[in-house]
Structure 1
Amino acid sequence: MKAIGITQFLDKSFEVYDFQGDWLESFGQPEKNFIMSIYGGSGNGKTEFAIQLTKHMASFAKVLYCSYEQGISKSLQDAIKRNDMQDLKGKVMFTSGGVFDDLILRLKRPASGKIIIIDSLDYAKLSLDQFKILKKTFPRKSFVIISWAKGDKPRNQHAKDIEFMSCIKILIKNFKAYPVSRFGGNKPFVIWDKKDTTPVQQKLF
């Protein structure tokens, strides 16, 4: 057990990601070991938002996108192209397949990534206990957990439990992200503007 006084606490500084613009207004400035829970129904824009988040986070640190659900697929490739990620060589890595032990081994590699995106918890069958192992083993990494929803809440009990642990919780609905962030912001984030005349099926998976 570690104790700290009020003066020490107030003098303590924390490393954060310096979000600006729309990202700041929606999510604040997250600490560099944040936990983010993203959930929503099919076809509401989860993957598109995850790719937009990946692109934004890659401006700060290397991102590992664990694509359990879509794998290395054309639909994911299309999302990458839509968001103009061609210039992020060396800053983003995608993986597919594997079990929990494979993920642990991957994350132990040098330069494995500071931000880890798991898409999705349901497809990977990630449990709460496994997630606790991830956080304990890699306390300096940030984790983004994407899950399916039932209504406006995560469908899976493990996803619900991880949502309680998360400092940023995001419901994806009708192409908007609705955040609840401990770091401030909390303005809805537009994933796709309906004023855009491009058909939805071409914009989102």
Structure 2
Amino acid sequence: MKVWSQKNLEDIRHEYIDFDGEWYLAFGRPEKSGCWIIYGKSGQGKSSFALQLARKFDEMGLRVLYLTLEMGACDDFVNSVLSVGIHSKTNNIIYSDEATITELDEYLSKQRSPDVIMIDSIQYFEQQGGAKAPEIIRLRKKYPRKIFVFISHVDGREVEGKTAYDVKRDSFKRIYVEHFKATFIGRGKGGSRGYYIVWAEGYQKYWIENIKSDNDGTEDEETYQ
């Protein structure tokens, strides 16, 4: 067991991600380490947000590995990548569609290995790569200067499966995506606004339709009174 004195604790120097603009307003300056988890229902902007985050990390000079375990290099995934502005002339993100937790560990042990590892999805990483929460947490602790970002399916409003739930509990940052709005839910302090709009047109359309629906409901009630 390793222990720290008070002075040891005070002398620890943390590195931070210097987000700016919309990213800073949503997430502040998070520590450059630990697990993050992005979760939400399909079709509401979760994957697009993850790719936008990958692009932002890359623009900031961080090396990014994106494990596209679910979609591989299919046409839909390639189009999604291009649609968020990631392309070979400006970005250096690397991809893979297969990895066991042992293979990932070996890869991360190499010099100049990625700073950020994004895994889509944690459910596929468990099913295909044999990853369980204790192994994932050990990997996170073994590489304290790296960021692990997991994308997760949900059951209702909660992450799907025990592995995802345990990793969520261990995650430093939790981001829930719904109706193209990514909301910070997690340890520590986020940005002053606390959310990021993934797709403005889709977000606005959802709220306009719901406001109209609410107004229609109110008018109907008044008509029948």
- TM-score category (smaller protein): 0.7 to 0.9
Amino acid at match of 1:184: G
* Residue 186 of structure 2 corresponds to residue 184 of structure 1: no
Partner residue of 1:88? 90
Secondary structure of 1:13 counterpart? coil
What is the 5 A alignment of 1:1-205?
Answer: 1-5=2-6, 9-10=9-10, 12-58=12-58, 59-86=60-87, 87-89=89-91, 91-125=92-126, 126-181=131-186, 182-185=188-191, 187-194=194-201
* Distance of aligned partners of 1:99 and 1:16 in 2 relative to their CA distance in 1, 3 Å threshold: same
CA distance in 2, matches of 1:82, 1:170: 21
Identity %: 28
Contact 1:40 1:173 in 2 (8 A): yes
The CA distance in 1 between the partners of 2:202 and 2:142, in whole Å, is: 45
Structure 1 range deviating more: 14-23 or 94-103 = 94-103
Summarize the Cα distance change of 1:136–1:13 in structure 2 as closer, same or farther, 3 Å threshold: closer
Q: How far apart are 1:153 and its partner, in Å? A: 1.2
Contact 1:17 1:60 in 2 (8 A): no
Q: How has the CA–CA distance of structure 1 residues 53 and 164 changed in structure 2, closer, same or farther, with 3 Å as cutoff?
A: same
Note if contact 2:179-2:203 (Cα within 8 Å) is conserved in structure 1. no
In the alignment of these two chains, the number of paired residues is 196
Q: Which residue of 2 aligns with 1:203?
A: none
Structure 1 residues 153-177: Cα deviation after superposition (integer angstroms, max 9, x where no partner):
1011111111111111011111111
Q: 1:8 to 1:104 in 2, by over 3 A?
A: closer
Q: How far has the Cα of 1:71 moved from its partner? A: 0.8
8 Å CA contact 2:64, 2:117 repeated in 1? yes
Cα distance per residue 1:80-133 (max 9 Å; x no partner): 1111212334x3110112322222222222222000101101011131022023
**In structure 2, distance between residues paired with 1:66 and 1:135:** 16
CA RMSD of aligned residues (A): 2.1
Unaligned runs of 5+ in 1: 199-205
Higher relative contact order (CA 8 A, sep 6+): 1
> Which protein shows a greater Rg?
2
TM-score, normalised on structure 1?
0.87
Q: Distance in 1 between matches of 2:83 and 2:125?
A: 26
CA change 1:74–1:164 in 2 (3 A) is same
C-alpha distance in structure 1 between counterparts of 2:145 and 2:190, whole Å: 21
Residues 11 and 57 of structure 1: CA distance in aligned 2, closer, same or farther (over 3 Å): same
TM (norm. structure 2) is 0.80
Q: Say which structure is richer in helix.
A: 2
Residue aligned with 1:129, SS: helix
Distance in 1 of aligned mates of 2:93 and 2:35: 19
